[in-house]
């Protein structure tokens, strides 16, 4: 069962040690950079992803400073735990949390155009391309006012 936990003195080194495949390294910032970014940008909420009590990944989300909408800034599953459905389970977990905030109705995520696996996953969950490209990444949006629940 996927659980999202705060990053603290007990697990931050494990989070930093998480890694993706060599090909995926071009798709996502490393976790040390992301933790530094979260320190400088308090709107970013970094979380450790656990399957039961095993650390398997990293997630960072928050309400964007500029557009005041939810963004999922990072999601990564460690190379040793990929292809087990944990990415989808993690997205469902964070979307449940975000969608419970009734003051907002959209969540955005970006994807590197070559990362077809991630793009397909986001689209299966109901995200659609919104036509923007930011920092060479495609932007997808899930507008959860238009549907009672995202696709699972």
Residue 40 lies in a domain: yes
pLDDT recorded at residue 26: 86
Question: What CATH number did the domain enclosing 75 receive?
Answer: 3.40.630.30
Number of domains in the chain: 1
Residue 139 lies in a domain: yes
Cβ distance 127 to 140 under 8 Å?
yes
**138 vs 108: CA distance, rounded Å:** 10
**71 vs 142: CA distance, rounded Å:** 10
Q: Name the phi and psi angles at 19, rounded to 5.
A: -145, 160
Residue 149 lies in a domain: no
- Other C-beta atoms within 10 Å of 9: how many? 6
Residue 70 lies in a domain: yes
pLDDT recorded at residue 98: 96
> Which is nearest to 56 in space by CA: 20, 96, 94, 95?
20
Residue 124 lies in a domain: yes
pLDDT recorded at residue 152: 53
pLDDT recorded at residue 145: 81
Residue 97 lies in a domain: yes
The side-by-side arrangement of strands in the sheet containing 70-77 is 2-6, 45-51, 54-63, 70-77, 106-111, 137-143, 128-134
Residue 151 lies in a domain: no
Write out the chain's pLDDT in tens, 152 residues.
999 999 999 999 999 999 999 988 988 999 999 999 999 999 999 999 999 999 999 999 999 999 999 999 999 999 999 999 999 999 999 999 999 998 999 999 999 999 999 999 999 999 999 999 999 999 999 998 865 455 55
* E-strand stretches of the chain: 2-6, 45-51, 54-63, 70-77, 106-111, 128-134, 137-143
**126 vs 83: CA distance, rounded Å:** 20
Residue 81 lies in a domain: yes
């Amino acid at each position: 069962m996927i659980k999202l936990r705060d990053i603290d003195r007990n697990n931050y080194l494990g989070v930093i040690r998480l890694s993706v495949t060599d090909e995926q390294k071009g798709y996502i910032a490393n976790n040390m950079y992301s933790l530094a970014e979260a320190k400088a940008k308090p709107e970013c909420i970094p979380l450790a992803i656990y399957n039961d009590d095993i650390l398997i990944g990293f997630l960072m989300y928050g309400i964007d400073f500029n557009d005041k909408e939810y963004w999922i800034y990072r999601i990564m599953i460690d190379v040793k735990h990929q292809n087990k459905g944990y990415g989808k389970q993690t997205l469902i977990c964070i979307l449940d949390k975000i969608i419970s905030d009734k003051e907002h109705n959209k969540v955005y995520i970006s994807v590197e155009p070559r990362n077809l696996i991630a793009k397909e996953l986001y689209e299966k969950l109901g995200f659609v391309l919104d036509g923007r490209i930011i920092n060479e990444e495609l932007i997808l949006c899930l507008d959860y006012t238009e549907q009672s629940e995202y696709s699972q």
